Amino acid sequence: MKRLAILIVFTCLVLISTGCHALPGAVPPSSSPQSPSAEPAPPALATEASVVRVIDGDTIEVDIAGNLYRVRYIGIDTPETVHPTRGEELYGKEASAKNKELVEGKEVHLEKDISDTDKYGRLLCYVWVGDLLVNAELVRLGYAQVATYPPDVKYQDLFLQLQREAREAGRGLWATTRPAQPITQGTYVGSIQSDKYHYPDCYWAQQIKPENLIWFSSAKEALDMGYVPCKVCGPPDQ
Asked if 107 is an active-site residue, the reply is no
pLDDT digits (tens, 9 = 90+) for 122-173: 999 999 999 999 999 999 999 998 888 889 999 999 998 998 899 889 899 8
Residue 99: count of CB within 10 angstroms of its CB:
26
- Residue 121, CA distances (Å) to 11, 139, 148, 177 in order: 14, 24, 18, 33
Q: What are phi and psi of 180, to 5 degrees?
A: -60, 145
Task: Name the residue among 37, 44, 39, 1 with its Cα closest to residue 19.
Answer: 44
Instruction: Tell me the whole-structure pTM to 2 decimals.
Output: 0.66
Distance CA 145, CA 67 (A): 30
pLDDT digits (tens, 9 = 90+) for 135-146: 999 999 999 988
* Residue of 39, 86, 89, 122 marked active site: 122
* Residue of 80, 94, 111, 137 marked active site: 80
Residue 3 has pLDDT above 60, yes or no: no
Domains delineated in the chain: 2-172 (2.40.50.90), 177-229 (no CATH)
Asked if 72 is an active-site residue, the reply is yes
Task: Name the residue among 7, 76, 11 with its Cα closest to residue 47.
Answer: 11
The predicted pLDDT at position 73 comes to: 98
Asked if 171 is an active-site residue, the reply is no
